[in-house]
Structure 1
């Protein structure tokens, strides 16, 4: 099973070195849930940055810039789509008319092929079931409570989705997969399981 993880430095409580240390620690701890690929997404200089590699976390070094305040991450255990092709790994980039977003998924979706037909979504070279969530949000032309609700009601399977929007907010969409959120003084850490988050 994959893992989502990340941090939200909502009061600017963490210096850049500490943020990078936390992110690398979280990624390595959550490697227990997926070693096929590792990736993060964040905003810097007004742009959405996605860094991902088809490597386990202990072979990946994250370095986010000081201005990155909200960082979402993912460790992948492949169920569909070869991890050696970066396009199949999380986080995924989504595009709306005036904005981009990043999406990561922990779980398995069973009806992605069916949805591509019934929702008349374009074929894509991305082979993962998770990408259907990005395509549905792009079809709805919005990233808000209603579009996320519609997407979650369409997909079948197990899921937690994390979605980073252009306002540097993370949306959590939780199905029946675990998600732990720990609040500290000025920042928040989140990840797929509380046990590993405590360990981190």
Structure 2
């Protein structure tokens, strides 16, 4: 029973560096928040004795640190100067199938190819049905495998032409890293749903889902891979200092439908995505939350001698809470940011922590209150989102036991009312708290046990993001508005269209 959207995946790649596998390992470690179920690395090397290219791989269930806990993996197994890596999160039901662990790798008539995918294909069912009718056998339940089949079935002459033809047949959200015998290829879908950045280290190119993966290896951020861009990084790119770029045209929308939830919750605050720092955007979300719901309209019982306190639900809402306090102070409304909740960083995210007896116990293993801060005060809790409301209810109950004067809950995003079909895993619509209570805010407030509940509006969310990132870009807000920029088959079963 999750109370946050589940992460999708993180991808990383590096071309022509003597420590390619090790750099990929560090990159995946920084991207661990994007997928905590399994991890894998594939490298490319030329075997002089056998006179052919090989693609060794190492992947398994678990966190990056446990999957690659033996340094001999990098010395003896993952040899080669180019590598790609993948952290995975999947939907329930297919998560225990080792065949689904990425990167995938195959050998076909044009050589070796490996792929790692962050996103979700909207036309996966149609493609899978077509291949089944043609007698194609599948090794996994992941939609990523469909891309490899499209490449291998292409009648084009060169591998790049085959890849481009395959990409023209898929729809939805995809950021990809591909590794061939002598090339690293980075792809973002034409609508740009998922982030993907280009960097450089020691003269070698690298790509990653978020720039925090560059920071850990001291790589330089160059730019984002553009929506619809296919970057081919090979020896020619190294010599000319510029990768070859191809363009995929959008079939739907404006060619810019970047996932706004990346800014709200998913990405690390120290990352730069879609051309802007996540921390800056989240502070702006807090600013707009204060404009729509200033302290003076929220607090009801605050005594004159005690300022209202604002606490965040750590860690993803920390900067939004700071932005909320700062804007209220600018508006002349007294309040104070306090650390009222302590997070245990040695516990995994509540919805994937095994062995606990109850949902409440899971929350208590992750959070605890600072009673001396909360007692007798008017408390405003700032969180980034509410899905089912279960965690929120338990958190409020914990805070109530610390004897506050009043408790209010502010959310730096709108109510979540619909699923995502582009790479995030939300519950079914009827399980979402906003839908269960027909979007009646007062009933939702009663459900989680607060004196009042307030959300940032959909317009406020978009305006906050665009003020921080004023470039000519549009954002996907489907989970808040039900406006899907790319058509999807809403009847697709999760097993048929797995989020990876």
Residue of structure 2 equivalent to 1:161: 176
Question: Whose strand fraction is larger, Structure 1's or Structure 2's?
Answer: 1
Return the TM-score normalized by structure 1.
0.84
Please give the alpha-carbon distance, in whole angstroms, between the structure 1 residues aligned to 2:204 and 2:95: 32
Report the alpha carbon displacement of residue 150 of structure 1 after superposing the two structures with TM: 1.9
Cα distance in 1 for partners of 2:63, 2:107 equals 27
Equivalent of 1:134 in 138, 142, 148: 148
> Are 1:148 and 2:160 counterparts?
no
Q: Deviations over 1:61-116 (max 9, x none)?
A: 16334851001100011137623222111111223225221111111112222112
Shift of 1:179: 0.9
Q: CA deviation at 1:195?
A: 4.0
CA contact 1:41–1:50 (8 Å) conserved in 2:
yes
The question of 1:70 aligning with 2:79 is answered no
Structure 2 unaligned blocks of 5 or more: 1-7, 48-52, 218-500
User: Tell me, what secondary structure is at the counterpart of 2:109?
Assistant: coil
Give the match's secondary structure for 2:83.
strand
Deviations 1:149-182 (A, max 9, x none): 222221111001211112x211112111211111
Asked if 2 retains the 8 angstrom alpha-carbon contact of 1:109 and 1:155, the reply is yes
Aligned CA-pair RMSD = 2.4
- 1:29 matched residue in structure 2: 30
Would the aligned equivalents of 2:28 and 2:213 in 1 still touch at CA under 8 Å?
A: no
| Aligned 8 A contact 1:37 1:83 in 2 | no
Provide the rounded CA distance (Å) in 2 between the counterparts of 1:164 and 1:133: 13
Aligned equivalents of 1:34, 1:6: Cα separation in 2: 16
Greater shift in the superposed pair: 56-65 or 176-185: 56-65
Task: Give the match for residue 8 of structure 1.
Answer: 15
- Judged with a 3 Å threshold, the aligned counterparts in structure 2 of structure 1 residues 9 and 146 are, in CA distance, closer, same or farther, namely closer
2:21–2:83 Cα contact (<8 Å) kept = no
From the CA coordinates, give the structure whose radius of gyration is larger. 2
Q: 2:169, 2:59 → 1: CA distance? A: 27
RCO comparison, higher one (Cα < 8 Å, 6+): 1
Distance 1:65 1:169 in 2: 22
Report the CA distance between 1:47 and its aligned residue: 1.2
Pairwise mapping of residues 1-200 of structure 1 onto structure 2 (< 5 A)?
Answer: 1-10=8-17, 14=18, 16=19, 19=20, 21-44=22-45, 45=47, 46-61=53-68, 63-65=73-75, 67-79=79-91, 82-118=94-130, 120=134, 122-140=136-154, 144-166=159-181, 168-175=182-189, 176=192, 177-198=194-215
TM-score between both structures, scaled by the size of structure 2: 0.36
Aligned partners of 1:93, 1:121: CA distance in 2, in Å?
Answer: 20
Number of aligned residues = 193
Which residues of structure 1 form unaligned runs of 5+?
Answer: none
Aligned to 2:56, the other structure's residue is in SS state strand
Q: Is this contact kept in 2: 1:4–1:192, CA < 8 A?
A: yes
After TM superposition, what 4+ stretches of structure 1 lie above 4 angstroms from structure 2? none
